Structure 1
């Protein structure tokens, strides 16, 4: 008769029958990840309103992504910047990013004279055609008519129309410029009509642990010092219904100690003070701070405003990695909605979309004047070497200086110098008799 196995073994991994590891007997065998609740905004709003850490997690990356803004590169850049200021574009994008991180999605609605129920046509925007830019979070938009029939459409499995919360006006989806939160698997994205995940939701458990630890320590601090009085015959007095007299006695003791700094005791009483040991509390808080900073993808020095710890630690490496992450988010999260905004805003500024329009995000790290001077000195020395070697001409160096906004020249000056320079390179002549014997015929 075949005996049944005592334990149910796992299909792979380390197994130890004696300790129960991998046999279904160990506690770790029952660890499972379960999907969290993605819907709902009440707790997110409450955390953002009442807790400064939650607000920092939402606002800091949004502020950093738009803090230094961008540099527009085209001939009509000044006019476009004026239109940006009129529409308050930088502040609008910052707000949309914040609500996207808080709720998992937000949208900008340009107010124009086009019919809201018909598809939006950016090419029909004329000079001054954008009246205002309005920001809505994903819970302000009520979806209608989910597109399940056109798999080639950009809004596949997303609504065809939206209505605003407590409104009746139907608005075609093309009028909204969407800012999607953190990416989710496709099945969860379909459940949320194309919106993403809240960055704050992913950090809520860590925020709760940190706040609970801080509140618990604050409660302990209230009773860090406890007065202990030893009194002979206390048990007998309590058994003879003398609680009232005892309470009155030591109430008077506390009053005298706080008013005249005097402790009055009887001959058979002994006074002692017990101090709570809180020496191991600070490392717990430090660990929670590091953990929550990792969950938020923000350095501790930036999230909590603390200085870097450790020997010769400056925090510059952490900030550099963080700024690289911000630049990556600008590229992955902002470039697409900014392209849609520019298609509208630039036409509103100029009446058309110039072919040479482009922009660059300004760098976040601001070097000091000494670093800038050293960098320019190295560039100048490189320019001198290239000029002496004949690899570049004066006009090329001048154009680079003008593009980097180091110097500005009058119109036509660079073109005149370029016309007078001859940088055409002819065939390189070899000295007579050199290399002739080493040449091999082509095969």
Structure 2
């Protein structure tokens, strides 16, 4: 972050504390020595002089890339609420992941299904996307599975969940959590992962707490609004994490992820600045010109060259008139001066380029990010949308499916259902008629090949084809045996021989009768 964007950030989002914060102990995480240590202490950042870029800095060849920064919760919330660009970056991918919904298998009457009733009661499909968005915004967030007996410290095992064991689902961000205990055995898959968290339910102390039947942390001390939560009850979602093994976090002060807005904070602030000043710039460029007879004589005060006012004096008065009246005055008889009015299209080009940059950073096509293609793009964006749907499905499979699969098992057992019904995600986007026809053709050909190869029987082929849209095969209808492979070649004539003509190729001509056969009328 350079000094110019830092100034804009401080102007738009003033820091809650006026006093300067103490610099962190960087050497606890990044041990350096010698010249490297002195350089690191001097800059506190990674210093780049090779790029030769820097924007509005006092030295043009200095560029600084800050160390990962932990923004306050209030600032990240302000960015999400006040900047539609930040909200799109956080929301779009998650909304598209859940847009197709979940398709249940084996559920005849949805309104009578106990699992669906429980999910609706707990608000699963509204809280799960909210937890993922909170993780992307704040760096780390949790979906806490609250037990009915208030024993949050008890380990949650899916196979041991009983009916009504989970009474609530709670979305908690990392600012309310601290790591309480950690797995230290490197031979375990849980190595360096939190064993339990300390959840502070009332960190600000703004509202009185009603204890109800919450257990005391210690019997001889009053309850302070904190409780230990076992990590198995916390479904965790991170924003930007580390590519290294989790073991490095044992010696780090920050064990959370970072907000995905960290990567685009400068660009979001620049976008806000462009949109705030773009209209004013366009207005300043569109300056009306008013010709006044004898205008030169009116400007006679000042330095005169011969019989005319000096160009410097003339230009200064014109700038003053533009600044005060939003209008330019020239002499009606002045034919040698032409006022060039700026073209505001340049501002539009800059804003469009910034939108493409932000859409690329968010991993979303421009047509999806802004709702329309940027200026100068003639493409419909169909190819980008198709690639984006594939990216959404890949993200859902890698990051969402494991949590959803576990939640489906927990919800089924919590509803008193012994066996978890099957489920699958709905289709993202509508297939065109051409795509449907192509899918039907490919599936039919592959099914026919499987039948002819003896890999599946006719009943299985009916089940495959019945899954396609607008296809329904009657089980009583006889499916003809597929032709043998290369049947035509085996029955064909020798090389160079004239092929026999099919007598049925001409429907008007009846095939010849064999000897001793009578034709029925």
What TM-score comes out, normalization by structure 1 length? 0.69
Measure, in 1, the Cα distance between the counterparts of 2:301 and 2:423.
87
1:161 & 1:53 partners in 2: Cα distance?
A: 33
Q: Distance in 1 between matches of 2:470 and 2:116?
A: 21
Match of residue 180, structure 1, among 234, 238, 256:
238
Q: Could you say which residue in structure 2 is the equivalent of 1:285?
A: 351
Task: Work out the CA distance in 2 between the residues paired with 1:157 and 1:392.
Answer: 47
Q: Which 10-residue stretch deviates more, 384-393 or 294-303?
A: 384-393
Once the 2 structures are TM-superposed, how far is the Cα of residue 387 of structure 1 from its aligned partner? Answer: 5.0
Instruction: Spell out, residue by residue over 1:89-132, the C-alpha distance to the aligned partner (whole angstroms, 9 max, x if none).
Output: 22222111111111112111223324112222333322343333
Say yes or no: does 1:160 pair with 2:202.
Answer: no
Task: State the Cα deviation string for residues 299-349 of structure 1 (Å, max 9, x = none).
Answer: 111111113766862211111221122112112221232233223112123
- Rounded Cα–Cα distance in structure 1 between residues aligned with 2:51 and 2:370: 39
Aligned with residue 95 of structure 1, among 127, 130, 133: 130
Q: Is 2:88 aligned against 1:56? A: yes
Change (3 A) 1:332 1:379: closer
Contact 1:108 1:133 in 2 (8 A): yes
1:129 matched to 2:165:
yes
The answer to whether residue 235 in structure 2 is matched with residue 169 in structure 1 is: no
Between 295-304 and 393-402, the greater mean CA deviation after superposition: 393-402
- Number of the residue aligned with 2:46: none
Q: How does 1:209-248 map to 2 (within 5 A)?
A: 209-224=270-285, 225-227=287-289, 230-234=295-299, 236=301
Indicate if the aligned counterparts of 1:177 and 1:341 stay in contact, CA closer than 8 A.
no
Counterpart of 1:331 in structure 2 is 397
What is the rounded CA distance, in whole Å, between the counterparts of 2:140 and 2:126 in structure 1?
Answer: 17
CA contact (8 A) 2:289 2:330 kept: no
Within a 5 Å distance, the mapping from 1:24-39 to structure 2 comes to 27=52, 33-39=65-71
Q: Is the 8 A contact 2:141 2:172 kept in 1?
A: yes
Once residues 68 and 393 of structure 2 are traced to their aligned partners in structure 1, the CA distance between those partners, rounded to angstroms, is 29
Deviation at 1:169, TM superposition (A): 3.1
- Against the structure 1 CA distance between its residues 85 and 374, is the aligned structure 2 distance closer, same or farther, given a 3 Å change threshold? farther
Match of 1:331, SS?
A: helix
More deviation in 227-236 or 301-310? 227-236
What 5-or-longer segments of structure 1 have no aligned partner?
1-23, 239-245, 258-262, 424-430, 432-443
RCO higher in structure (CA 8 A, sep ≥6): 1
Matched, 1:304 2:304: no
State which drifts further: 271-280 or 157-166.
271-280
Runs of 5+ unmatched residues, structure 2? 1-48, 54-60, 203-224, 304-316, 483-489, 491-521
Matched, 1:117 2:153: yes
**Superposed CA offset, 1:386-411 (max 9, x none):** 557766432112332456687789xx
CA 1:192/1:106 → structure 2, altered by over 3 Å: closer, same or farther?
Answer: farther
C-alpha distance 102-268 of structure 1, shift in aligned 2 (>3 A): same
C-alpha deviation, 1:222, in angstroms: 3.1
TM-score normalised per structure 2: 0.60
Q: Deviations over 1:361-392 (max 9, x none)?
A: 33313213553255335534654565577664
| 1:138 matched to 2:174 | yes
Task: Give the root-mean-square deviation of aligned CA atoms.
Answer: 4.4
The answer on whether the counterparts of 2:146 and 2:152 sit within 8 Å (CA) in structure 1 is no
Query: C-alpha distance in 1, partners of 2:154/2:450?
Result: 58
Q: List per-residue Cα deviations over 1:195-245 (Å, max 9, x = no partner).
A: 32211221111111222122222121332315566352446399xxxxxxx
Q: Establish whether residue 205 from structure 1 lines up as the match of residue 266 from structure 2.
A: yes
Structure 2 CA distance for partners of 1:189 and 1:309, relative to 1, 3 Å: farther
Task: Tell me, yes or no, if the aligned pair for 2:141 and 2:174 is still in contact at 8 Å.
Answer: yes
* CA shift in 2, pair 1:107/1:310, >3 Å: same
Would you say the 8 A contact 2:199–2:226 is kept in 1?
Answer: yes
Aligned partners of 1:165, 1:305: CA distance in 2, in Å? 39
- In 2, the alpha carbon distance for the partners of 1:102 and 1:308 equals 26
Secondary structure at 1:183 match in 2: coil
1:176 offset after TM fit, Å? 1.2
Q: Please say if residues 158 and 194 of structure 1, whose CA atoms lie closer than 8 Å, have aligned partners that are also in contact.
A: no
The answer (yes or no) to whether the contact 1:106–1:138 under 8 Å persists in 2 is: yes
Whole-Å separation in 2 of the counterparts to 1:105 and 1:64 = 20
Aligned equivalents of 2:370, 2:360: Cα separation in 1: 12
Report how many residues are paired: 374
